[in-house]
Amino acid sequence: MRILCSFFLLFVAVFSVAQTTPSSSSEFPKEIPNFDLTAMDKTIDPCVDFYQYACGNWMQNNPIPPDKSSWGRFNELAERNRYVLRGILEQAEAPGEHSAIEQKVGDYYAACMDETVVEKRGTEPLAPPMSAIAAIKTKQELIQQIAAMQRDGISALFTFGQMPDMHDSRQTIANLDQGGLSLADRDYYIKDDAKSVETRQKYLEHVQKMLELLGDKPDVAAAEAKTVLAVETGLAKPSMDRTARRDPKTRDHMMQTAEVVALAPNFEFTQYFVNSGAPKFTSLNVSNPDFFKQVNQQLSSVSLDDWKTYLRWRALDTYAPILPKAFVDEDFQFNGAYMSGQKEIEPRWKRCVRSTDQNLGMALGQLYVDKTFGPEGKERTLKLVQAVEAAMHQDIGQLTWMSDTTKQKAYEKLNAIVNNIGYPDKWRDYSTVVVKRDDYAGNVTRASTFEVQRELNKIGKPTDKKDWGMTPPTVNAYYRSNMNDINFPAGILQPPFYGKTMDDAVNYGAIGMVIGHELSHGFDDQGRKFDADGNFKNWWTAEDGKAFEDRASCTADEYSSFVAVKDDKGEVKLNGRLTLGENTADNGGVKLAYMALTNIIGNTPVKPIDGYTPQQRFFIAYGQVWCENVADQQARKWAIIDSHSPGRWRTNGVVQNSAAFAEAFGCKAGQPMVSKNACRVW
Ligand SMILES: [Zn+2]
C-alpha cells in the first residue's frame, strides 16, 4: 500500500505534440491554451468571485460531454491525450514491422476492440472462477479461493499487499488491510440519509440484473442481491472511515505472523499467506486489526452459501467491463449513469485506450514518452522544481511560529526529497505477460496477475523508490510520505500547465503551483508525521506541533463551510478534515510558486501582457487550471470519496487566504475574496 498524495483524483492523461495521425483528424481536440482570455468572465469582479472571473465563460461554453460525468481543463487534456495514445495504438495494431513492445500493446488493443469475439465468447471468461467457487465445500476452501481470486486481481473480503515498513522505510513488508466492498466507500452501506438509502436500493437492483444476465432466475437473483448487500454491510461496519485513516497512527500495527493467525483464526492465515503468492515473511503490518477481529466472527456466523454468493458477485462485478455488451451496459447504467451522472458510455476505443494504459501502462507509456517528451523535458522541469524548492527553504526560514530546532529538521526533510520527473529510469518488463489477439479477457487477467505478483515480490526486499505509481501519460502528480519523493509524469508537463514560450508568471501559476503543492504534501497534516527518510517518526517539538495543528484546524474549518453540491437531494458540504492535506498543499503550493516567481521577476516593473500584470497573470493561470463543470451525482460522490476539493474551492479557498492575491487585484477587506480570518499553514 502506498500513500499517494495525488494532485487530482482521476488518473487521467494528457497529450503532447504527437507525430501520429489519429484515425479521424477532424475529431482531434484542439491544443489547450496556457492563458485563456476567452475563458474569463470580465463582467465579474475578481474580488467578489475569482473562480467565476477566471472561468465563467469557459463554464458557460463547455458543457459536460454526454460520455463524461465532469469536464474540466484536466479532462480536456486527458481527452486530447487519449487521441494521441489511440494513434500510437492504431499504428501498433496495424500490419507491419513492430518492436516487441509495439506488438504487445497493439495486440492488446486489437483484442479489446474486437467486440465480435468478445460477444461470441459470452460469459466463458467467467467460467474458471465461477466453477471454482461452486466447488467450495468448507470455509478453508473459501479462504483458498479468495487467495486465488486476489492473485487474479479480483478484490474480495480484505486486501493484502506490500508497503514500506512505517518505521524503516528502506524495507518493504507485507500489509493486511480492510477491503472487499463493491461500492466506493463504507458510508454508502452505513449512512441513513435519503440519498444513501436510495443508493442501496439501486445497488440491489443492479446486482440482481447482473446476476440475471448471468442466467440466474429473477427471484433467485433478487435474494442473492440482498445477501451481497448484507455481507458487504458486514465488511463496511468495521472498516475505518477515510478521515480517520489519514492519521498514520491508526494504521500502524506491526505483528508477528503467529499473532495475526491468532487475531483472526477463521481467516486461516497460515495457509492464506502460502497461497497468496507472497515470498515468505515472519512479521507484517495490519492496518486495521479490528476489521479482522470482527470479520472473523462473521466468517463463522455467515453461511458458506452466502459467502459463495458474495464471491460470485465479486468475480462478476470485476469482469463486467470485459464481458459482452449487455453486461457492460448494465455496469455503466449503475456505475456511470446513476453513481456519476454520465449520460452515455464512452465509445469503445476510449475504453480500450484506458484499459491498455491500466494494464500495460508502462509499455504504452514508453512509446508515448519516445514520441512526446524526451530528456530535455526532464531538464526544463528540474529547473522549475529547484526554484520552488529554494522558495520553500526561504519560506520555512521566515516562519514565525516554528522554532529553529524544528526548522533544522524541516530543512533536512526538504533537502532529502527525491524528484522523479517525466518517466521511470528503468522501464517495466512485461515480457512474461502473454497477450493474444483473440483473447481480451485472458489478456486482462494475465496482466492483472502479473501486476499483483510484481507488487507482492517486493515483500522482504529493499524499498524501490524508483518504482512509479502512475503511468507517464497521466495528467497528475503525487507525493509519497513513506518515500519522501515527488513525482511528475510527462503527461502533466505540457500546456496548460507548462508552455515553452509562456511568460514565467503563467508557468509558475500553473506547473509551479503543482510543484509547490506536491512539496507541501511533505508537510501537511499527514506528511509532517513522516521524517526525511519516510519513516513515521515525530521530528517536531511539542510546541511547534501544537502550532501546526492550530493552523491546520483553521483550514479544516474554513473548507468545511464550503458547499460541494446542492440539488433536489439536499446540500452537501465539504469534509474539511478529509480534504485538509490537499487544501494545505493548494494553499502552500500557491504561496511557494508565487515566492519563486517573485524571486525571478523581483521588483523590476514588468510590462503587462494582455492587460494583466505578472502577479495577476499568475493567479488567473492558477484559477484556469481548475475550470470545470461537474454533474451533481459526481460532485456528491467526490464529496464522500475524494480528498481533493472541487475546482471552485481549490481556487476561491486559496485566493481568499492570500494577501498577494488581494494586492494583485486591489481587493479590500470586507470583500468576499478577502477572508476575515485568513488561514495559513505554510
Ligand atoms: Zn495533492
Per-residue pLDDT of 151-198, as tens digits, reads 999 999 999 999 999 999 999 999 999 999 999 999 999 999 999 999
**Interval between CA 207 and ligand 1 midpoint (Å):** 34
Q: Count CA atoms within 13 Å of residue 588 on its CB side.
A: 30
For the cut 60, the answer to whether the pLDDT of residue 3 exceeds it is no
Per-residue pLDDT band at 21 (split at 50, 70, 90): very low
In this structure, the chain runs to a length of 682
Which parts of 226-345 are beta strand (E)?
254-256, 283-286
Cell readout for 633 is 451525482
Please tell me whether the peptide bond between 95 and the residue prior to it is cis, using omega within 30 degrees of 0: no
**pLDDT for the residue numbered 456:** 98
Interatomic CA distance for residues 339 and 357, integer angstroms: 24
**Any bridge partners for residue 473, and if so which?**
none
CA dist 391 and 512 (Å) reads 11
pLDDT of 2 reads 35
Distance of CA 489 from the midpoint of ligand 1 (Å): 14
Other CB atoms within 10 A of residue 512 CB: 32
The pLDDT value recorded for residue 266 is 98
Distance 396 CA to ligand 1 centre (A): 20
CB proximity list for 287: less than 8 A, separation 6 or greater? 1, 175, 176, 177, 178, 245, 251, 253
**What confidence tens digit (pLDDT) does each residue in 562-621 have?**
999 998 888 999 999 999 999 999 999 999 999 999 999 987 778 899 999 999 999 999
| Helix runs in 373-479, H state only | 375-398, 404-416, 440-456
Q: Which residues are catalytic?
A: 518, 586
Mean confidence (pLDDT) of the chain:
94
How many angstroms separate the alpha carbon of residue 282 from the centre of ligand 1?
34
Per-residue pLDDT averaged across 46-72, rounded? Answer: 98
Give me the torsion for CA of 317, 323, 324, 327, rounded to 10°.
0
Residue 583 CA to ligand 1 center (angstroms) comes to 8
Instruction: Write down the pLDDT at residue 5.
Output: 60
Task: Report CA(25)–ligand 1 centroid distance (Å).
Answer: 35
Kindly state the cell numbers that stand for 525: 497534516
Angle between helices 348-372 and 73-93 (to 10 degrees): 90
Question: What are the residues facing 177 on neighbouring strands?
Answer: 159
Can you tell me the distance from the alpha carbon of 14 to that of 495, in angstroms, rounded to the nearest whole number? Answer: 9
Rounded to whole angstroms, the Cα distance separating 650 from 48 reads 16
Residue 14's pLDDT band, with cuts at 50, 70 and 90, is very low
CA of residue 97 to ligand 1 center, whole Å: 42
Cell of 1: 500500500
Pairing of strands 70-72, 158-165: unpaired
Paired sense of beta strands 485-489 and 418-422, if any: parallel
pLDDT of residue 602: 85
What number of other Cβ atoms are within 10 A of residue 669's Cβ? 8
User: The C-alpha cell of 148 is what?
Assistant: 486465488
CA atoms of 405 and 412, how far apart (whole Å): 11
Q: Which residues have C-beta within 8 Å of that of residue 182, sequence separation ≥ 6? A: 203, 228, 232, 313, 314, 317
Alpha carbon distance 643, 559 (integer Å): 12
> What is residue 6's predicted lDDT score, i.e. its pLDDT?
67
Number of Cβ within a 10 Å radius of residue 222: 16
Classify each residue of 592-607 as buried b or exposed e, where b means 16 or more C-beta atoms within 10 Å of its C-beta: bbbbbbbeebeeeebe
Q: How far apart are the first and last CA of the chain?
A: 28
CA distances from 298 to 182, 349, 513, 572 (A): 18, 43, 48, 33
How does pLDDT run across 80-116, given as a tens digit for each residue?
999 999 999 999 999 999 999 999 999 999 999 999 9
DSSP bridge pairs for 283: 256
173-177, 265-269, 345-349, 566-570: least confidently modelled range: 566-570
Number of DSSP helices (H) and strands (E) in the chain, helices first: 28, 12
Average pLDDT over residues 425-444: 97
Query: How many CB atoms are closer than 10 A to CB 552?
Result: 21
pLDDT of 355 strictly over 90: yes
pLDDT of residue 638: 97
Report the separation in Å between the CA atom of 649 and the middle of ligand 1, taken as the mean of its atom positions: 14
Q: Distance, CA 589 to ligand 1 centroid (Å)? A: 10
Q: Residue 518 Cα, ligand 1 centroid: separation in angstroms? A: 6
Q: Which three cell numbers stand for residue 39?
A: 475563458
DSSP secondary structure letter of residue 216: -
* Region 361-383 average pLDDT: 90
CA of 203 to the centre of ligand 1 (A): 31
Higher-confidence residue: 372 or 98? 98
0.85 exceeded by pTM: yes
Q: Which pLDDT tens digit goes with each residue over 112-148?
A: 999 999 999 999 999 999 999 999 999 999 999 999 9
Asked if the model's pLDDT at residue 19 lies above 50, the reply is no
Of 552, 591, 566, which is closest to residue 646 (Cα–Cα)? 566
pLDDT for 26: 58
Confidence of residue 22 (pLDDT cuts 50, 70, 90): very low
- Do the Cβ atoms of 239 and 186 come closer than 8 Å? yes
Checking if the pLDDT of 500 tops 90, the result is no
Per-position DSSP letters for 252-265, written without gaps between them: --EEEHHHHHHHSG
The C-alpha cell at 133 is 467457487
Question: Given a cut of 50, is residue 1 above it in pLDDT?
Answer: no
Identify the band that residue 34 occupies on the pLDDT scale cut at 50, 70 and 90.
confident
**Is pLDDT at 556 greater than 80 in this prediction?**
yes
